[in-house]
Structures are given as structure tokens and as C-alpha cells.
Amino acid sequence: MRRRCAAALPLLAIALLGAALLVVGLPGSAPFATAAPDPTGLTAASTQPRLSTSVGQHLDYRVSIVNDGHSATGQLLAHLNIASVTGGTYVDPEDWSAERSRFLPALAPGAAVALTWDVQAVSPGTFALYVVVLPAGMAATPDQRLVVSTPTRVEVAARRTLNAGGALPVAVAVPVLLGLVALAGRGRNRARLRR
């Protein structure tokens, strides 16, 4: 029994090694792997692999789309997406960027276009920002592949902006003081009229 187990060990090791190689080799299984080039030669990549910010802050997310192919593309649509990579955080991309879709003109071979999105960090957590490029409008065909940019990891720190203690005295004192000044002025006017 023990000998049979010993004979099975190399097989188990090979199986484990094969499985590990298979997992590592699968496209996209590694976190933040570079995007595979599209057969048409269109690539999208961000120059910012990592961004850090805090809740409420705005950041510029830049992506470059290049046509490395030999033929011109049709009109393109670049669409920004955001996902929470740690889970448990509700993400509504509309809250993060008001204008996520950008229509691009056809790109000639070798042409590139740089796009910048204004993104506001709405929730704390770790997120991935990425752009999907697809044919725009009627140019889309069912067999056409989407081009996805390299994702940018965004770390958003929580931030508390409540400041009730500081605001309350000012919010109360200013109208009260101005009210007293107005009342004093009115009283002085009445006294002058009586005289």
C-alpha cells in the first residue's frame, strides 16, 4: 500500500505542476496582466499602472489607443469601466465618471489617440479602471473582438469630511450678529423719526 502511494507521488507532483502551469498560463488569470493585442493590431493601454487617492478626489485617467495594424479601423467607441477588485463595495460607474463613452474617428495604420477621463473617487476600496474599445455604430459586427486596455489599480482611502463642530458656531453667529446690527439700525431710525 505504502509502495503504491510512493509510486503515485511523482504522478501527483506532475499533475500539480501541470495544473499550476495551466493556471499561470491562462490569459487574464494573473492580476493586472497586460492586454493581449487584437488581431487587427488595435491596442489600448494606460500609462498609469497604479493610482492612489482618497474619497471625493478627482483624478485624470489616461489611456492611449494605438492602431498597430496594417489597415485603418472604422469609427471606434472607447468605454470606461470600473470594478471593485476586492468585492463588497457597490460600484455605480456613472457616479465615478459622468461621461464614460467616447466616440473616436477611424484610426489610420500607426495612428494613436490619447484619451483622458475625469474620474471622481466615490467609495473607499481597491478598484480596477479599464477601457473597452469596440467598433462604433453600424460598423460593429458580431464576430469582431473587443479590445481591452491594461487595467489601472486605484486605491481609494476613506476620508471623513464632517466638521459639525467648526461650522455650527459660524452658521449661528453670523446671522445673529447681522440680525442684531439690523435691529439696532432700525431702532436708531425709529428714534430719529420720533425726534
Positions touching another protein (CB under 8 A) are 54-58, 98-99, 118, 122-123, 159-164, 166-168, 170-175, 178-179, 181-182, 185-186, 189
Cell matching residue 104: 473616436
Q: Which is nearer to another protein, 28 or 137 (CB)?
A: 137
Considering beta carbons, is residue 76 or 102 the nearer one to another protein?
A: 102
State the minimum distance, in angstroms, from the CB of residue 106 to another protein. 21
Q: What angle do CA 159, 91, 81 make, to 5 degrees?
A: 115
Cβ partners under 8 Å of residue 130, min gap 6: 46, 80, 81, 82, 83, 148, 149, 150, 151, 152
- Amino acid at position 22, single letter: L
What's 33's DSSP letter?
P
* Least distance (Å) between residue 138 CB and another protein: 22
Please, which residue, 109 or 179, has the CB nearer to another protein?
179
The amino acid that residue 133 corresponds to is V
Smallest separation, CB 67 to another protein (Å): 25
Nearer to another protein, 41 or 100 (CB): 100
Find the shortest distance in angstroms from Cβ 95 to another protein. Answer: 9
In the complex with another protein, the residue whose CB is nearer, 36 or 174, is: 174
125: closest CA among 83, 92, 84, 159? Answer: 84
For residue 170, the minimal CB distance to another protein (Å) is 5
- How many angstroms separate the Cα of 66 from the Cα of each of 46, 81, 105, 129? 11, 19, 12, 18
